[in-house]
């Protein structure tokens, strides 16, 4: 049978945090799970076509101006 000293028995029965402390190591870094956020339809479009908001804004402004002119005729 293998002889284990008192210190060896203590190290075998100790948790990881205590072992790291005894060895002078810093605490283990926690793993952080990053949640994937699903982008919406509009977000996907704006990433794929970054100029799209300007085109839609221009079209909307044009429609509003034409509607305003037709209203006061």
CA distance 37 to 48: 17
Chain length of the chain: 73
Give the pLDDT confidence of 44-61 residue by residue, as tens digits: 888 889 998 899 999 999
Question: What are the structural domain ranges in the chain?
Answer: 41-71
CA distance 18 to 28: 11
Which candidate, 28, 4, 24, 32, places its Cα nearest to that of 16? 28
Q: What three-state secondary structure class fits 37?
A: coil
Q: Who has greater pLDDT, 1 or 49?
A: 49
Number of H helices, E strands in the chain: 4, 0
Give the pLDDT confidence of 20-47 residue by residue, as tens digits: 888 888 888 888 887 777 778 878 888 8
């Amino acid at each position: 049978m293998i002889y284990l000293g008192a210190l060896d028995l203590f190290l075998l029965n100790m948790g990881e945090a205590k072992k790291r402390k005894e060895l002078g190591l810093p605490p283990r870094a926690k793993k952080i799970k990053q949640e994937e956020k699903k982008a919406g339809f509009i977000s996907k479009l704006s990433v794929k076509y970054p100029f799209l908001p300007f085109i839609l804004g221009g079209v909307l402004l044009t429609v509003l101006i034409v509607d305003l002119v037709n209203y006061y005729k």
